[in-house]
Structure 1
Amino acid sequence: MEKKKKPEIRFEGFTDDWEQRKLKDVYGSIGNAFVGTATPYYVEHGHFYLESNNIKDGKINHNSEIFINDEFYEKQKEKWLHTGDIVMVQSGHVGHAAVIPEELDNTAAHALIMFKNPKEKIEPYFLNYEYQTDKAKKKIENITTGNTIKHILASDMQEFEVDVPKCKEQKVIASYFCKLDHLITLHQRKYKKLKNVKKSMLEKMFPSKGCKVPEIRFSGFTDDWEQRKLKDILVNLQNNTLSRADLLNEA
């Protein structure tokens, strides 16, 4: 008997119960990408090879890139990833997942769990966000093995249960979180720019060694800066750490 649940917050117009489903009932294929030594096939320029390092916090990054030659790439044809497939890290930072975008259609991957060939209408981005919830993370943690390096098995993920509403509601939820991610990215870029501005201003609004005026000043200020010792500026300059004797005297 399938369990049914409802979230605490929902978008207007959705009232149906959510179903708890095993992933093997949602996807026709849940298995491993190539697992083994691929280094002999690495080339400087070739086909992008998707690895666990590229999967973090629900996204695919290109912080590091590995490329494979044509021969090895073609051998992986049956395991190529396609637009809308989901991949999950199976070793190390296990449970981090991402959806394959259009620009990575027909991509080969290494040591990832692949969720392919959905049996029904499913919004992959919805599942990707569900994997990012604390509830899903704890469930994944419960099926991990290994002490030093954590691992999860594709067979265990086949039995993994997810909470699934109708596809229309999945799409609305996924769209909402995609917009949030976009806003977060924009703010992160602004944050980085402001950090760079601050760093630059710290260098230019204080005099460099041997100079008496900074490179950049506010309008109306032209006097030279003076170089002073702190003891000539502060009335009482001392270490902030109290000794045991200080504490006894305070008492």
Structure 2
Amino acid sequence: MFTYAWEQRKLREVANHRGGTAIEKYFDKNGQYKVISIGSYGLDGKYIDQNIRAISNKITDERVVHAGELTMVLNDKTANGTIIGRSLLIEQDNKYVVNQRTEIIAPKVIFDSKFAFTILNGSFREKVKRIIQGGTQIYVNYSAVENLSIELPDIEEQQKIGDFFKHLDELITLHQRKRHD
């Protein structure tokens, strides 16, 4: 059983980040990258493919998301914050690129990616929603987000928790598919 106390850390202490930029001019239906933008974040934490692709060049290649990294949307088209602060866990290299107002979060060795996905979409997202700015289109600045605190057990416990929730997610998806078949 786990006996270690959970530690409180700021997100910036446990993850590096890279920001997105406007890449609309590089959209091309034959582009090699799937684009992650505000419409890519499903309420279930899954990527929504809007069939937007971007070509590979110096600008887009710097915003490619690597396996084990996460993305977080920093704005919302609604005032109630349905999407803001949601995160996606990227599991394949060189497949996705981020557009503006999306941040790439690269967990450090002490922060497990699957655990990060669970926490960032749960209790941490509630903290993000408390620091929103704007009116009809709300947003957060990543400089404020990365200063929010996060509760962490040791890495071994994070991995077990992350694996548990990933497995649970897969079971739910499987069950939903069986119901629709």
Matched with 1:89 is 73
Give a deviation string over 1:130-164, Cα, whole Å, max 9, x none.
1232x323211111112212211110121011111
Q: Give unmatched runs, 5+ long, in structure 1.
A: 1-12, 194-251
Q: Which has the higher strand share?
A: 2
Please list the CA deviations of residues 99-149 of structure 1 after superposition, one character each: whole Å capped at 9, or x if unmatched: 1112x436321121111262x33211101101232x323211111112212
Consecutive unaligned residues in structure 2, runs of 5 or more: 77-82
Alignment of 1:72-151 (within 5 A): 73-92=57-76, 93-102=83-92, 104-105=93-94, 107-111=96-100, 112-116=102-106, 118=108, 120-133=109-122, 135-151=123-139
Aligned-partner Cα distance in 2 for 1:95–1:40: 25
Q: Closer, same or farther in 2 for the Cα pair 1:17/1:23, shift >3 Å?
A: same
Name the aligned partner's letter for residue 95 of structure 1: G
Among 24, 45, 68, the residue aligned to 1:58: 45
Q: Is the 8 A contact 1:123 1:167 kept in 2?
A: yes
Alpha-carbon offset, residue 88 of structure 1? 0.5
Instruction: Label 1:167 to 1:144 Cα distance change in 2 as closer, same or farther (>3 A).
Output: same
Q: Deviations over 1:22-68 (max 9, x none)?
A: 011112x324211x3x3332212112222232222322232x12112
Which portions of structure 1, spanning 4 or more consecutive aligned residues, are displaced by more than 6 angstroms?
Answer: none
> With structure 2 as the length reference, what TM-score do the two structures score?
0.86
Asked if the contact 1:58/1:129 (under 8 Å) is kept, the reply is: no
The answer to whether the Cα contact below 8 Å between 1:30 and 1:154 also exists between their aligned partners in 2 is no
Cα distance in 2, alignment partners of residues 76 and 39 from structure 1: 10
Of the three residues 27, 37, 41, the one matched with 2:26 is 41
- The answer to whether the Cα contact below 8 Å between 2:71 and 2:89 also exists between their aligned partners in 1 is yes
Which stretch shifts more, 175-184 or 52-61?
A: 52-61
Higher-Rg structure is 1
Equivalent-residue separation in structure 2 for 1:128 and 1:179 (angstroms): 13
1:189 and 2:177 matched? yes
Structure 2 counterpart SS, 1:128: helix
Give the conservation status (yes or no) of the 8 Å contact 1:31–1:154: no
Matched residue SS, 2:133: coil
CA contact (8 A) 2:54 2:60 kept: no
Task: From the superposition, tell whether residues 39 and 33 of structure 1 become closer, same or farther in structure 2 (CA, over 3 Å).
Answer: closer
- Residue type of the alignment partner of 1:26: V
* Equivalent position amino acid for 1:55 in 2: Y
Pair 1:117–1:141, CA change in 2 (3 A): closer
How many residues align structurally?
Answer: 172
CA distance in 2, matches of 1:166, 1:185: 29
C-alpha distance in 1 between matches for 2:96 and 2:65: 5
How large is the Cα RMSD of the aligned pairs? 1.8
